Amino acid sequence: MIKVTVYNEYVHELEDAAVAAVYPKGIHGCIADFLGANEDITVKTVTLSTVEELTDELLYDTDVLIWWGHMAHHRVPDEIAERVYNHVMCGMGFIALHSAHFSKPFTRLMGTTCSLCWREGDRERVWNIMPSHPIAQGIGNCFEIPEEEMYGERFDIPTPDELVFLGWFKGGEVFRSGCCWSKGLGRIFYFQPGHESNPTFFIPEVQRIITNAVRWAKPLYRQEKIDCPWTESPEAKL
């Protein structure tokens, strides 16, 4: 079994009725539902109000951590972000969705600003530019998202090890929408679609990509944090 933990800050859904109407169980609930329908995947969810549950114990018991956040990145304690960073370096998989580009764990892992340009309310065509990649299996040449937030270049990230999807927007912009990296022993996937007011996580291709990414990011080898030479914080060496 692949053990997945989904972190969603779960603030928009509680504060904005329009977002709650799209995701009545929260974005984390939607992701847990479609991932949990697979026989080889079990899912736990954590939100900002329960973020202290992201302990070493839970992270050791997590093969792949999925992260969605937007307006409350700053409310995630630094020590939890550092803990996530260290577990990725030791082999845990990490999937950052949409506005998680500015989350503390993702910017820590990338080591860059991860800034980009954006505009709400555009149409997106997601191009599969690496059809041989495990994350692209079952996805055609391209698929459409009727309404999605435009994210545009330059996306300030380290050059991805593999670029699987390229997003094109009606406004003319393009974006590196599906990017893979290895950091330490961990595998990282960033996927751009997933604005909170659009039903993007109900789209079959989006669900297939995230499911494929979970299987791709699952660690094949994992090191105990205490022995891992790629962790950096003093806490990790205790």
From residue 125, give the alpha-carbon distance in Å to each of 9, 141, 169, 171: 27, 10, 6, 11
Nearer to Zn ion by Cβ, of 149 and 205: the residue is: 149
The least CB distance from residue 237 to Zn ion, in Å, is: 37
Euclidean distance between CA atoms 199 and 17, whole angstroms: 14
**CB nearer to Zn ion: pick between 118 and 230:** 118
Q: Which residue is nearest to Zn ion (CB)?
A: 195
101 binding Zn ion? (CB under 5 A) = no
Using alpha carbons, select from 182, 179, 125 the residue that is nearest to residue 150: 125
Q: Please say which residue, 3 or 123, places its beta carbon nearer to Zn ion.
A: 123
Q: Which of residues 118-157 bind Zn ion (CB under 5 A)?
A: 149
Site for Zn ion in 185-214 (CB under 5 A): 195
Distance CA 220, CA 185 (A): 9
Q: How many residues bind Zn ion (CB under 5 A)?
A: 3
Quote the least distance from Cβ 116 to Zn ion, whole Å: 11
Closest CA to 209 of 99, 134, 147, 127: 134
Cα 156 to the center of its chain, rounded Å: 17
Least distance to Zn ion, CB of residue 70, Å: 6
Of the chain, the end-to-end C-alpha distance in Å amounts to: 30
Residue 181 exposure: Cα atoms within 13 Å on the Cβ side:
19
Q: How far is CA 52 from CA 46, 78, 115, in A?
A: 9, 11, 27
Write down the least CB distance from residue 69 to Zn ion, Å. 11
Min CB(36)–Zn ion separation in Å: 24
Would you count residue 99 as binding Zn ion (CB under 5 A)? yes
CB of 129 to Zn ion, least distance (A): 23
Binding of Zn ion by 73 (CB under 5 A): no
Contact indicator for 51, 84 with CB cutoff of 8 Å:
no
Q: Interacting stretch for Zn ion, rule CB under 5 A, among 45-53, 92-100, 102-110, 179-187?
A: 92-100
Which range touches Zn ion (CB under 5 A), out of 98-106, 155-163, 168-176, 221-229?
98-106
Q: Is the dihedral of CA 72, 84, 8, 103 positive or negative?
A: positive
Q: Minimum Å distance from CB 196 to Zn ion?
A: 6
Between residues 87 and 195, which has the closer beta carbon with respect to Zn ion? 195
Whether the CB-CB separation of 130 and 163 falls below 8 Å is answered with yes
Residue number with CB closer to Zn ion (106 or 216): 106
Q: What residues line the site for Zn ion (CB under 5 A)?
A: 99, 149, 195
